[in-house]
Amino acid sequence: MTAIISSATLVGATGRPVSVEVHISTGLPAFTVVGLPDAEVRESRDRVRAAILSSGLAWPMRRITVNLAPSGVRKGGSGLDLPIAVGVLAESGSLPAGSTSHVAFVGELGLDGSVRHVPGMIGLADAAGGHRMMVPVADAAEAALVRAESVAGVASLRQLVAILTGCTPWPAPTLLASEPGDEVADTCVPLARADGDHELDLAEVKGQRVGRRAVEVAAAGGHHLLLVGPPGSGKTMLAERLPGLLPPLGLDAALEVARIRSAAGIPLPADRIFRRPPFRAPHHGASAVSLIGGGTWAMRPGEISLASHGVLFLDEMGEFPSVVLDALRQPLEEGVARVSRARGSVTFPARFLLVGAMNPCPCGQGGPPGSCRCLPSARARYTRRLSGPLLDRFDLVVPLSRPDPDELLATEGGEPSAAVAVRVAAVRESARRRGAPSNALLGASVLDRTAPMTEGARELLEARVRAGGLTGRGLHRVRRVALTVADLDGVDGPIDEHHVAEALALRAGRAVADAPDQS
C-alpha cells in the first residue's frame, strides 16, 4: 500500500496541486524524495524525521520513498514538510486508515514538531485538493479567504495527530474579522502612512495648481503620470498623495492583491482584507528582476505585480538604468508581466498606475538659461534614460517649478483629498458603465461609441498628428485623457475642443525630458 496525501506547491503567484506519495518497504533504512524536488524540499528529510521523533511518535526504520506527483513539475518551498510527515505516519500505521483522505496539508515543520508559516498560502490553498485543509495557525485566516470554513489551523504535529486520531475535535475555522463580502462604507478614504501617524492629504501641498490637477486626472482616469521639476518642487508629495484619491478595492481586486502579496512573502493584515490600493516605491538601484519579477526557479512577483490595482512610484526616475525602465514597456501595454526561464514561464498580473518623478537634468536646476550647471553631454545622457517608446506611454508629463514663497507660507491649505476622491470615484463609476475599470483601459472602438468628439476637437487632434506631435498610441491616449477631463467637469455630451486642449497641454510636458541644454 502507498499513502497518498494532497498538497500544493507555489509557482509564481499561483499554486499547483501536488500528490505526496509515500511508500515504506523492507531494506536498509533510507529516505529518498523524488519528483523534481528543489534543495529546500530535499532538506525536508531531516526536518520531518526530527519533527516526528520530537513529537513522541515512532519513526519507521525501513526504506522510505517519497514521490511528488506530477513528476514533471518542479517542487519548491518548505510547505511540503507537513504532507510528507503525514504520509510517513499514515503509511507506518501511526494514523488510522482513511483519516487523511479528502484532507489537504501544507506547512513547514520545525525540529521540535511545530508547524510554521509558509509564503503564498492563498495560492496554495486555492490549488490544494481535499474537502478540508490543515495549515499552520499563522496562515489559517489567509487560507480561509479562498477555502472559507474548511480550513483548520494547527500549531504542532502532535496536535494534528490528535485531531486525525479523534482524540481532539477539529478546531473552529479561523476567519478574518471582516468578512470577504463586506463592502467599505466610505468610498473615499485617504491613504494613511505606514506608521499611522497622520493621513497623507492633498491639502498639505501648497501651490502647484497644475500639478494637483494632473494628479486628480491621473487618479480619475488611471493615466500614467510623469512629474519633471527641480528638487523641492513637490513632485514626491504629489505622487505619495495620489493613492489616497483612489477608491477602495473591490472584492476580486482585493483578493488578487492579497494573493500576490502572499506569494511574495509579505504579511497580510491579521484582522481584515487589504482594501486600500497598494503603493510601491522601489529605490532607483532596483534591478530589472526585482521590478518585473522572476529570479530563481520559483519566480517571485516583482514590484510591478505588487503594485497591481494600485500605484508604482519611481522617484528619481532619471537615475534608473535604461534597461530597467525599458522593461516596463510591455507590462504597461498589456497589463501582465510574462517571465520566462529555461525551466518554465509564469504570467503575473501587472495592471498598475505608473507615476514617475525626475529632475530636468543631473544638477536638478534646469529652468532659465544659465541656471543649469550640467555639460550638454551629461544632460543628454540623463535625458536618454527615458527612451521615446517609454515616454510615449505616459499620458501626462507635467513640468513643475518651485512654489512661490507666498504660497509656501500660506496658512490655508488646498482642497483636501476626501473632496477630490469623491470626484475621482464618480469618474471611475462612469468608466465602469462604459465597460472598463478606468478610462485609460477603454478600447478605441469603445471610445468611438461612447465618447464622440466635436468637429473642433477632431480638427485639433488631426493638426497635432499631422505636425508629428502625436503617434497613433499617443492619439488614443490623448482621447482617453480628454474623456477623463470631460468626466471631471461633469460633461455628459461629446468631448469638446477645450477638453482636448487640456489633455494636450498636460501631455506637452513630455518635451521637457528631451529639451536641449539652455545654459
3-state secondary structure 483-510: HHHHHHCCCCCCECHHHHHHHHHHHHHH
Within 13 A of 332's CA, how many CA atoms are on the CB side? 24
Q: How many domains does the chain have?
A: 2
Residue 15 falls inside a structural domain: yes
Location of C-alpha cell 525551466 = 343
Distance (Å, whole) CA 519 – CA 517: 6
Distance (Å, whole) CA 466 – CA 464: 6
Residue 384 falls inside a structural domain: yes
Q: Are residues 371 and 494 in the same domain?
A: yes
Residue 288 falls inside a structural domain: yes
The 10 Å Cβ neighbour count of residue 408 is 12
Residue 519 falls inside a structural domain: no
CATH code of residue 222: 3.40.50.300
Q: What is the pLDDT of residue 184?
A: 34
Residue 184 falls inside a structural domain: no
Q: What is the pLDDT of residue 191?
A: 37
Q: Are residues 282 and 430 in the same domain?
A: yes
Q: What is the pLDDT of residue 187?
A: 34
Residue range of the domain that includes 136: 3-164
Q: Are residues 272 and 147 in the same domain?
A: no
Q: Give the DSSP letter of residue 274.
A: -
Q: What is the mean pLDDT of the chain?
A: 86
* Torsion (CA) 254, 256, 260, 262 in degrees, nearest 10: 60
Q: What is the pLDDT of residue 272?
A: 63
Q: What is the pLDDT of residue 516?
A: 38
User: Is the distance from CB of 508 to CB of 465 less than 8 angstroms?
Assistant: no
User: Is the distance from CB of 122 to CB of 146 less than 8 angstroms?
Assistant: yes
Q: Give every residue of the chain whose pLDDT is below 50, as ranges.
A: 177-198, 511-519
Rg (CA), the chain: 28
Q: Are residues 137 and 233 in the same domain?
A: no
Q: Are residues 245 and 120 in the same domain?
A: no
Q: Are residues 506 and 389 in the same domain?
A: yes
Write out the three cell numbers for 282.
Answer: 522601489
Distance (Å, whole) CA 180 – CA 261: 17
**C-alpha to C-alpha distances, 364 to 215, 322, 373, 378, nearest whole angstrom:** 22, 19, 9, 12
Q: Are residues 293 and 424 in the same domain?
A: yes
Q: Are residues 479 and 357 in the same domain?
A: yes
3-state SS class at 339 = strand
Last residue of a domain, one of 164, 185, 216: 164
Write out the three cell numbers for 241.
Answer: 498623495
The 10 Å Cβ neighbour count of residue 404 is 11
Q: Are residues 470 and 334 in the same domain?
A: yes
* Torsion (CA) 486, 491, 492, 495 in degrees, nearest 10: -50
Q: Are residues 80 and 211 in the same domain?
A: no
pTM of the model: 0.85
DSSP 452-476: -B-HHHHHHHHHHHHTTS--HHHHH
Q: What is the pLDDT of residue 46?
A: 93
What are the residues whose beta carbons fall under 8 Å from the beta carbon of 433, sequence distance 6 or more? none
Q: Are residues 322 and 447 in the same domain?
A: yes
Distance (Å, whole) CA 122 – CA 382: 42
Q: Are residues 482 and 370 in the same domain?
A: yes
